[in-house]
Amino acid sequence: MAMIGWGKPKIEICKLDSDGKYPVAPLAWEELPTPVEDTTVLNTTKGEKIEAKIEGGENEDVKYKKSTYALVCNIRAAKGRVKPIDDDDGIVHDMYAVRLTPEDPTVPGFIADRCKVSVEDGWSSKEGGFWIFTFDVLKPETGRQIKWQVITP
């Protein structure tokens, strides 16, 4: 088995209730179809840097705002496949939690408890039709935005 979490990921989503919280019961994690090769990536936008300058231009102190995250993956619009998340010209009205399990499930993956999702339709002569899903991670009720852990079903 691998010692790092690369390779074919398993991505699962859970539709949240109207308040943006996990449903009371049962948690209904749905597996997305396997993404198009090399399209799954967790993008991090580093938090804004704030500098306390003094005369002469040196920093007396520096602090950063929190980073933000977005999980992106492309799902092929294969024959007979239904779009896994319904949208209205890219807008998804519901919120979701998303979790990613690496190819080796004993290696840590991550969970994002609250995400706003957007969808883009795409097509290329190489890939055919596909949907680009972006899960913008929102501040959770508690804890970190991205929770790294071994994912247990």
Is the pLDDT at 27 greater than 60? The verdict is yes
Sequence-ordered list of residues with C-beta below 8 angstroms from that of 126, at least 6 positions apart, any chain: none
Tell me what the mean pLDDT of segment 31-56 comes to. 97
Could you tell me the two tokens for 77? 């619009």
Q: Is residue 5 part of a domain?
A: no
Q: Is residue 71 part of a domain?
A: yes
Closest CA to 140 of 7, 13, 36, 16: 16
- Find how far residue 99's CA is from the centre of its chain: 8
Is the pLDDT at 81 greater than 60? The verdict is yes
Q: Is residue 4 part of a domain?
A: no
Is the pLDDT at 114 greater than 90? The verdict is yes
Identify whether the C-beta of residue 10 lies closer than 8 Å to the C-beta of residue 3.
no
Q: Is residue 107 part of a domain?
A: yes
Would you state the pLDDT for residue 97? 96
Number of domains comprising the chain: 1
Is the pLDDT at 153 greater than 90? The verdict is no
Tell me what the mean pLDDT of segment 80-89 comes to. 96
Query: Mapping DSSP to helix (H, G, I), strand (E, B) and coil, where does residue 13 land?
Result: strand
- Find how far residue 41's CA is from the centre of its chain: 8
* pLDDT tens digit sequence for 115-150: 999 999 999 999 999 999 999 999 999 999 999 999
Could you tell me the two tokens for 84? 């896994």
Tell me what the mean pLDDT of segment 39-64 comes to. 97
Q: Is residue 3 part of a domain?
A: no
Closest CA to 76 of 86, 68, 84: 84
How high does pLDDT run on average in the chain? 94
Cα 116-117-120 angle, rounded to 5 deg: 150
Could you tell me the two tokens for 68? 């933000």
> How far is the C-alpha of 149 from the C-alpha of 108, rounded, in Å?
5
Q: Which residue has the tokens 């519901």?
A: 94
Q: Is residue 2 part of a domain?
A: no
Q: Domain range for residue 59?
A: 10-149
Q: What is the pTM of this model?
A: 0.92
Would you state the pLDDT for residue 2? 63
Q: Is residue 68 part of a domain?
A: yes
